[in-house]
Structure 1
Amino acid sequence: MNIDTFKMIIAIVQTGSISGAAQQLGYAQSNISARVHQLETELRTTIFYRTNRGVILTDAGKEFYNRAINIVDLTEDTINQMKHPNEVEGDLRIGTLQSASATFLPPILTEYYRNFPKVRLAIETSNPMENIQQVLNYELDGAVIGENIDKTDLVSIPLVTEELCLVSASPEIGDLNTASFLVFSTGCIYREVTETWLRSQNISIHHPIEFNYLDAIMASVCSGLGISIVPKKIAQPFVERKLLYMTELPAGFSSIQLDFIYRKDHFINRPFEEFIKLLKNNAAVKTTKKEVS
Structure 2
Amino acid sequence: MELSQLAMFKAVVDQGSIVRASELLHCVPSNITNRIKILENELGVSLFIRKGRGLVVSPSGRLFLSYANKILSLCQESQRALDPAAAPSGDLRIGAIESSATGRLPKLLSKYHCLYPSVQMQFSTGEWSQLLKDVVDYKLDGAIVAVGVEHADIESAEIYKEELVLIASPIAGTIREPQDLRGFDIFMWPEGCPYRKTLVNWLDHHKVSSSIISIASYGTILGCVSSGAGVSLVPRGVFEQFRLIGGICGQVFSDLLPVQNYFIWNRHVEFHRAKDKFAELLKEEFKDI
Q: What TM-score does the superposition give when structure 1 sets the normalisation length?
A: 0.77
Partners of 2:23 and 2:198 in 1: CA distance = 42
Alignment correspondent of 2:189: 184
**Is contact 1:163-1:254 (8 Å) kept?**
yes
Q: CA shift at 1:35, angstroms?
A: 3.9
Partners of 1:48 and 1:239 in 2: CA distance = 49
Letter in 2 for 1:104: R
**Is contact 1:195-1:205 (8 Å) kept?**
no
Specify which of 31, 53, 56 is matched with residue 54 of structure 1: 56
Partners of 1:176 and 1:53 in 2: CA distance = 53
Q: CA shift at 1:261, angstroms?
A: 0.1
Partners of 2:119 and 2:220 in 1: CA distance = 32
Alignment correspondent of 1:138: 138
Write the deviation string for residues 5-37 of structure 1: whole angstroms up to 9, x where unpaired: 121232244346667646755677776565444
Give the match's secondary structure for 2:152: coil
**Is contact 1:6-1:72 (8 Å) kept?**
no
Q: CA shift at 1:39, angstroms?
A: 2.0
Q: CA shift at 1:130, angstroms?
A: 1.9
Alignment correspondent of 1:222: 226
Write the deviation string for residues 249-268 of structure 1: whole angstroms up to 9, x where unpaired: 462x4311010000101253
Alignment correspondent of 1:260: 263
Distance 1:18 1:133, change over 3 A: farther
**Is contact 1:47-1:60 (8 Å) kept?**
no
Partners of 1:196 and 1:46 in 2: CA distance = 50
Distance 1:8 1:200, change over 3 A: farther
Distance 1:207 1:103, change over 3 A: closer
Q: CA shift at 1:240, angstroms?
A: 7.8
Give the match's secondary structure for 2:282: helix
Say what the alpha-carbon RMSD is for the aligned residues.
3.6
**Is contact 1:165-1:254 (8 Å) kept?**
no
Specify which of 49, 71, 76 is matched with residue 73 of structure 1: 76
Write the deviation string for residues 177-230 of structure 1: whole angstroms up to 9, x where unpaired: 653222223332223323333444566664514233x22322321112221110
Specify which of 234, 243, 249 is matched with residue 247 of structure 2: 243
Give the match's secondary structure for 1:211: coil
Letter in 2 for 1:185: P
Please list every run of 5 or more consecutive structure 2 residues that lacks an aligned counterpart in the other structure. Answer: none
Partners of 1:273 and 1:116 in 2: CA distance = 12
Q: CA shift at 1:148, angstroms?
A: 1.4
Letter in 2 for 1:70: S
Distance 1:175 1:33, change over 3 A: farther
Matches within 5 A, 1:1-293: 1-15=1-15, 21=21, 24-25=24-25, 32=32, 35-44=35-44, 54-55=56-57, 58=60, 60-74=63-77, 77=80, 81=83, 86-169=86-169, 170-172=172-174, 176=181, 178-201=183-206, 206=211, 208-212=213-217, 214-236=218-240, 243-249=247-253, 251=255, 253-282=256-285, 285-286=287-288
Partners of 1:269 and 1:56 in 2: CA distance = 31
Residues matched between the structures, number: 281
Write the deviation string for residues 76-108 of structure 1: whole angstroms up to 9, x where unpaired: 6479x59xx744321111111222223332343
Partners of 1:69 and 1:183 in 2: CA distance = 39
Of stretches 32-41 and 107-116 in structure 1, the one that deviates more from structure 2 is 32-41
Write the deviation string for residues 32-64 of structure 1: whole angstroms up to 9, x where unpaired: 565444324323466568899932554742541
Percentage of identical aligned residues = 26
Please list every run of 5 or more consecutive structure 1 residues that lacks an aligned counterpart in the other structure. Answer: none
Q: What TM-score does the superposition give when structure 2 sets the normalisation length?
A: 0.78
